Chains A and B, each alone.
Chain A
């Protein structure tokens, strides 16, 4: 019994020695392989890239200060003409087409269509040259880009017409007249306006013009 045990222990000792030997041999082989690795070659090249920009600016046209504040109290039939420049000042051309969204703050009967058939309207007309602001005359050619439309219908971005020539190319300037009007048919009794009315309301109209970049271009060189 004790002889067997002695033999087993002796066998285990030989096993440990064998494992240690294998580890030492493996490390040696790996080290040798590192020293004698194969040759490598590298080639480099450089391609510089500059990204373009798409900028749309809004300024007053001619002597106009652009969108600001219509001081008089607007009565039905009145017109507030504002003259602005839309300018593509980026380095990229835009795709054909532009949208306009108009949101009134606060939202009320002037802008939200809550009184049927009443409220503010908007018309936009482009002139091929700068507008004569004092007279509202275009000495060039006019192009309608938005027919008379209820402002309440412009709360979601709406495509403007005939825009390809508006601000598509880099540096292109569009001279646009925006005509705000007020439509209403109401009768005030004993100095009191009807329950649903567009009278005596104030709103600030936010005009947002949006264009998209031209289509991507694939260049082979």
Chain B
């Protein structure tokens, strides 16, 4: 009996110690010094994406034949400009040059609505990487048609096109909403 009494007393003391420690570790309530008023509101926000893709990003030229690529604004924000990083390989022979033209409609027999289209950037030389920029506006899901026109191709030359959209400079103008 005495042993059990001691054991129960020990348990009680241990429990009390744990409870005291718990009380000591719990920080005082924030409102303990007086009343506090609180009000809560919520606003949800979703950010846009800015980006375009080109249907053809690698073109191999063995003759002076034009090649095309369609650019799509697959982001969620309209654009005011688009950039292209164009890399021209170093062919084994010759000094080929390339020009990039754009058209608002699909190219037809190398013509843009019967015309030449609008050149984007300057003439590109072999063994180079150049960033060229178009200032044509593109709506969300809008399309733009590129045509790469070679000259003086005598050996296989590869042109690679990488699209680039810089935010916020190439995105539509900022919008202010009051609600």
Contact = CB atoms under 8 A, between A and B. Distances in A.
Mostly helix, strand, loop or mixed at chain A's interface? Answer: strand
Contacts of B36: 54, 210-213
Nearest to A92: B35
A200 B86 CA distance: 27
A191 interface: yes
Mostly helix, strand, loop or mixed at chain B's interface? Answer: strand
Contacts of B171: 75-77
Interface string A79-94: 1111110101010101
Interface residues of B, number: 43
Interface in B53-68: 53-54, 57
Contacts of B40: 58, 206-209
Interface string A171-201: 0000000101010111111111100001111
- Interface size grouping (class) on chain A: 35 or more
B22 interface: no
A155 interface: no
A90 B37 contact: yes
A211 B37 CA distance: 5
Contact of B51 (A77, A188, A211): A188
A80 B44 CA distance: 11
B167 A207 contact: no
B175 to A, nearest CB: 5
A159 interface: no
23 contacts: A53-B35, A64-B178, A67-B43, A68-B43, A68-B44, A70-B43, A70-B177, A75-B175, A78-B177, A81-B179, A84-B41, A90-B37, A188-B49, A188-B51, A190-B53, A190-B54, A191-B51, A191-B53, A203-B45, A205-B44, A210-B38, A211-B37, A212-B33
Interface of B: 33-54, 57, 74-77, 162-168, 171-179
